[in-house]
Structure 1
Amino acid sequence: MQNEPLAYRMRPQTIDEIAGQQHVIGKDTALYKMIMNGHVPSMLLYGDPGVGKTSLAFAIAGTTKLPFIALNATKAGKKDVEDVVADARISGKVILFLDEIHRFNKLQQDTLLPHVENGSIILIGATTENPFHDVNPAIRSRCGEIKQLKRLTTEDVDVLLKRALEDPDKGLGKTPIKITDDQRLKIADASNGDARKALTLLESTVFASFEENGVTVVENGTLDSLIDRVGVFGDKKGSHFYNLLSALQKSVRGSDTDAALYYLAHLLENGDLVAVSRRLLVMSYEDIGLANPAAGPQVLAAIQSAERLGLPEARIPLANAVVLMCLSEKSNSAYVALDKAISSIHSGKTGEIPSHLKDTHYSGAKELGHGGYVYPHDHKIGTFGGWVNQTYLPDNLIGTRFYDPIDAGEEKRLSAIYNKLEKFKKEK
C-alpha cells in the first residue's frame, strides 16, 4: 500500500471521516441520516477538483458496506456498464461511482438508466462542470440529490494533513517527521482548498527533506520551492473558469478593486488572455457605459497593448484597465434601454415606420406617400447643434420610453440634454 500515493491511501473509509462539506454530509443533514439508516439515493456531486467528490463516494460505500464499482465516463464502454448491471443482478444492489459523468454517452445511458430507475444500481456521479449545463437531463432526473461540494477551508485541509502525519498504517505516522505548525499551515494554504493537492505536496516535501538522526526534517526552503510548483486550480474552459470571469465582472461592477484584481490574477494564471480581454471590453460598455464613455476606448487600448505584449507583461495594461473600471462612475442605462426595445419587438409591439422617415432615394417614392422629413441640422438649437420636433417612433408607440438616464459621471450631462429634449417634445 505504501507504494500508492498518500492522497489515495488517506481516502476516508466512512462518512464520519470526511473533512469539511458539513453542508452536504454533516450529522444534521438529511443525506447523512439517510446513509446511516442504510438508504443511499442516486446523486450528482459537483465541485472543483480535489474537493472530495470521489472520497465522499468511497466513504458512502464504506459506511453502507454495499458493493462498490468505480468507472470513468471517458474510458468506460458499453461492456463495462453491462458488467455493472450483471453485478447488480447478483448482489441485489450496487453503488456505481461514475467520474466525469458529464461525458456519459447515450449508449451508456440506454444500458444503465433503467437499472438506476428500478433501484438495483445506485448511481453516484461526479463532475467538475455545472450539472444543470453539462449533465444529460435523463441522468439528472434519476438523481434525487444534486450536491455542490465546496473548496475546503485551510482548517479542513490542516485536519487532513495532521491525520496523514499521525496515521501509521495509511499515512506517514511510521516515519519520524519534524514539521512545524506554520509549515503545515503553509501547505494547507498553498493547496487552495484541494485536499489531493495538499496531501501530494506534503508527501513530496517529506521525500525531498533530509534525514538527521533518524528524523526527517522539513526545511522552509525545500517547502517553498515545492509550493512554487503548485498550479492554479481550474481549467481554461471549465465551470470554474467561467465562475472566475463572473466574479471578476461582479467585483468590478461592485467597485471592489482588490477582489477584481484577485480574480484577474487567477484568470491570467490560467493563461486564457483572449477570454479575459473579451470580458473586460464587454464590461467597459456594459457596466461603465455612458457614465464614463472614455472607458471603452481606454480598455480597448489596454487590451490591444496586452495582446501585443503577451503574458506575463500583458498583466500590466490589464491591471490598469481593471482598476480604472472599478473606480469609474457606472451606468448600464444604454444597453438596458436597448434590451427593453428588443423585448418590445419580441412581444409584438411594432408599428409602421412614419412616412417621413422612409427612404426617398428612388423615383416613385413621392407617389407612395414617402417624404416630408425635416433635416435637423438646418434648425440650430443653442450649442447643441441642430434639432427639430418631429415624430420618429411608429404612431402606436409614440410616448414609449426605453431609455432612462441616470445622474452619474458624464451621463449626468447627457441626462440633462435628454430631459430637455423630452420637454421640448411635449411643447409641440
Structure 2
Amino acid sequence: MDGLFDVPGAGPAPGTGSLSANTHSSAPLAVRMRPRTLDELVGQSQLRAPGSPLRQLIEGDRSMSLLLWGPPGTGKTTIASIVSQQTQRRFVEVSAVAAGVKEVRAAIDAARSELARGGQETVLFVDEVHRFTKAQQDALLPGVENRWVTLVAATTENPFFSVISPLLSRSLLLRLESLTDDDVSAVVDHALADERGLDGAYTLDDDARAHLVRLAGGDARRVLTYLEAAAGAASDTHIDLSTAETAVDQAAVRYDRQGDQHYDVISAFIKSIRGSDADAALHYLARMMEAGEDPRFIARRLVISASEDIGLADPTALTTAVAAAQAVQLIGMPEARLNLAQATIALAVAPKSNAVTLAVDAASADVRAGKIGQVPPHLRDAHYAGAKKIGHGKTYVYPHDEPFGVAEQQYAPDVIENATYYRPTALGAEAAVKERWERIRRLVRGR
C-alpha cells in the first residue's frame, strides 16, 4: 500500500519488528547503523536518563503515545524503532507525505484486528505528522484513545501550531535537541568501527572528519550518508580531506569556531552591515553558516547591530532582527538561514545612525564619573502615606494635562540638568525624530 509500511518481526525473538531488525548489507549506512537500544542512542541525554518518561515507556512496556519534536537527524525515527523492538511490538510506518485518511484507518484497523486475535501490539510511526491535514490527524484519534496502537509521531515543526489539540493532549511530547559536534563525531567513530558499518576497513583523517561533521550540521543521518560516500570515493582504505571534499562535492570551509576565524568573520560581517554592503555581509553570513556556526550567535549579533548601528534611523531594524532571532529558535537550521539572510539584507540597506550608542555611552560615562544627583522632589514616589508632607510629588505637573502632552519641568538631577546625551542624526527616519526631539526638549526645559 502506497505510503504504508509494515515491518514484521524478525530475528530470534518474534515480534521485534523494527527498522533495525530487518537491515541487510546493501542497506544505506545510516540504516545499518540505526541504534537498536536506548543506550546506543547518541545525544538526547535528557530522554535517556534513568526514570525519564521514554525509559519508563520502553523498560516498563507501557502503552503510551509519543510526539517527538526536533530537527532532522536527531533520532525521531530511531526512537520509534527502539520502542517497537524493545517492547516486542510490530512496527508500522505511515508516511505523512504519501498516505491519506484511508491508509491511516487501514493501519489502525489492522492493529485492532491483530489485538483481537491475541497478537502483538503495534507501534504506528507517523513521520512529518505536521504535513497531515486536520482530517488525517483526526483519523489517528480512535487508535490512540482506545490504545489499539502506540502512536509515535515525529515533527520538525512546533506541534503547538501544527498538531491538533486532541492529539497533543493524548500524547507525551518529547523535545529532541540538535546533536553537538561531539555527538556527531561519536556517530562517525562508531560507524567506522562497528561490524554493521565499515567494520574497521577505513581510516579517516582528523581534518576530513571535521569537514564531514561541520557539513552534517547536527544531523546524524546526514553525516553517515557523507561518510558512506567518502568511503565509496576512496581509492584505498584511507579517507583524507580531498576525498571527503570530492565525495560530498563541497570544499571545506577554513573556519575555527573557537579561534581567530570565528572573531574575524563575525567582525567583518558586522562591519559590512555597518558599511551598508549587503553583498559582503551575505558572503560572511554564508561562510559562517556553511562552517556550522551557531545560528543563535549570528542572530544575537544582528540584534545588537540593529540598535548599535541603525537605531532610530530605521526603528523597524530592531523588530526585524528580533524576529529573525525568534525564527532561529522556532524552526532551526537550515530553514532559518532565510530569516538570517533577510535580516542581514534589511540591516545592511537600512539608513545608519549610531546616535543611540553615543547617547547611552555618554550617559554611562557621567554616571561612572560620579554625576549622580538627587532625584528632584517633585519626581519622587508620592504613593505612600505622608509622602506629600515631605515634599514628594508636591509640584509635579502631569504631562497629559498640558498642551501637546508635554510639561515644562525639571526631570534630570541638578548635576546634569543641562546635559545632552541623545543627538539624533538627520538620516532616515531619525530626521523626523530629530525635529520632534528638538521641539520637545525646548518645551520641557522652557527654552
How does the TM-score come out when normalised to structure 2?
0.56
- 8 Å contact 1:284–1:296 — kept in the other structure? no
What is the 5 A alignment of 1:185-224? Answer: 185-211=210-236, 216-224=237-245
Q: 1:83 corresponds to which residue?
A: 106
> In structure 2, what residue type is equivalent to 1:15?
L
Tell me, in whole angstroms, the C-alpha distance in 2 between the residues paired with 1:87 and 1:13: 25
Q: 2:286 corresponds to which residue?
A: 265
CA deviations 1:177-197 (Å, max 9, x no partner) are 132344334322331111011
Tell me, in whole angstroms, the C-alpha distance in 1 between the residues paired with 2:48 and 2:352: 39
- 8 Å contact 1:190–1:227 — kept in the other structure? no
Q: 1:166 corresponds to which residue?
A: 193
* 2:184 equivalent among 153, 157, 172: 157
What is the 5 A alignment of 1:54-133? Answer: 54-92=77-115, 93-133=121-161
Cα 1:410–1:165 shift into 2, 3 Å: same
Q: 1:420 corresponds to which residue?
A: 442
Q: 1:225 corresponds to which residue?
A: 246
Identity of aligned residues (%): 31
- 8 Å contact 1:284–1:325 — kept in the other structure? no
Cα 1:230–1:137 shift into 2, 3 Å: farther
Q: Secondary structure at the match of 1:125?
A: strand
Cα 1:100–1:416 shift into 2, 3 Å: same
Tell me, in whole angstroms, the C-alpha distance in 1 between the residues paired with 2:43 and 2:234: 29
Tell me, in whole angstroms, the C-alpha distance in 1 between the residues paired with 2:402 and 2:218: 61
Tell me, in whole angstroms, the C-alpha distance in 2 between the residues paired with 1:14 and 1:136: 30
User: How far 1:34 moved relative to its partner?
Assistant: 3.4
Q: Secondary structure at the match of 2:94?
A: strand
Q: Secondary structure at the match of 1:123?
A: strand
> In structure 2, what residue type is equivalent to 1:219?
D
CA deviations 1:277-323 (Å, max 9, x no partner) are xx9xx9899856984527989xxxxxxxxxxxxxxxxx9x9579559
> Is there any run of 5+ residues in structure 1 with no aligned partner, and where?
233-247, 270-278, 298-314, 332-391
Cα 1:143–1:294 shift into 2, 3 Å: closer
Q: 1:29 corresponds to which residue?
A: 52
User: How far 1:35 moved relative to its partner?
Assistant: 2.3
> In structure 1, what residue type is equivalent to 2:234?
S
User: How far 1:262 moved relative to its partner?
Assistant: 9.8
What is the 5 A alignment of 1:27-426? Answer: 27=50, 29-92=52-115, 93-145=121-173, 147-168=174-195, 170-173=196-199, 176-211=201-236, 216-229=237-250, 264-265=285-286, 287=307, 291-293=311-313, 321-322=347-348, 328=354, 330=356, 408=422, 410=424, 414=434, 417-422=439-444, 424=446
- 8 Å contact 1:71–1:99 — kept in the other structure? yes
Cα 1:33–1:407 shift into 2, 3 Å: farther
Q: Secondary structure at the match of 1:210?
A: coil
Cα 1:210–1:409 shift into 2, 3 Å: farther
CA deviations 1:389-410 (Å, max 9, x no partner) are xxx989999679xxx9x95552
CA deviations 1:341-367 (Å, max 9, x no partner) are xxxxxxxxxxxxxxxxxxxxxxxxxxx
**Number of residues of Structure 1 aligned to a counterpart in Structure 2:** 305
Q: Secondary structure at the match of 1:50?
A: coil
User: How far 1:220 moved relative to its partner?
Assistant: 2.3
User: How far 1:143 moved relative to its partner?
Assistant: 1.5
> In structure 1, what residue type is equivalent to 2:87?
T
Cα 1:192–1:89 shift into 2, 3 Å: same
Cα 1:119–1:224 shift into 2, 3 Å: same
CA deviations 1:59-110 (Å, max 9, x no partner) are 2222222222111112112332222222322343321110110121233233
Tell me, in whole angstroms, the C-alpha distance in 2 between the residues paired with 1:60 and 1:328: 56
Q: 1:240 corresponds to which residue?
A: none
Cα 1:202–1:292 shift into 2, 3 Å: same
Q: Secondary structure at the match of 2:245?
A: helix
User: How far 1:39 moved relative to its partner?
Assistant: 1.8
Cα 1:294–1:50 shift into 2, 3 Å: closer
> In structure 1, what residue type is equivalent to 2:139?
T
- 8 Å contact 1:190–1:230 — kept in the other structure? no
- 8 Å contact 1:102–1:136 — kept in the other structure? no
Cα 1:72–1:43 shift into 2, 3 Å: same
User: How far 1:221 moved relative to its partner?
Assistant: 1.1
Tell me, in whole angstroms, the C-alpha distance in 1 between the residues paired with 2:251 and 2:166: 38
How does the TM-score come out when normalised to structure 1?
0.58
Cα 1:68–1:397 shift into 2, 3 Å: farther
- 8 Å contact 2:83–2:123 — kept in the other structure? no
Cα 1:109–1:293 shift into 2, 3 Å: closer
Tell me, in whole angstroms, the C-alpha distance in 2 between the residues paired with 1:285 and 1:205: 40
- 8 Å contact 1:67–1:91 — kept in the other structure? no
Cα 1:330–1:57 shift into 2, 3 Å: farther
> Is there any run of 5+ residues in structure 2 with no aligned partner, and where?
1-23, 116-120, 254-265, 276-280, 291-298, 318-340, 358-398, 412-419
Q: Secondary structure at the match of 2:123?
A: strand
Tell me, in whole angstroms, the C-alpha distance in 2 between the residues paired with 1:54 and 1:164: 18
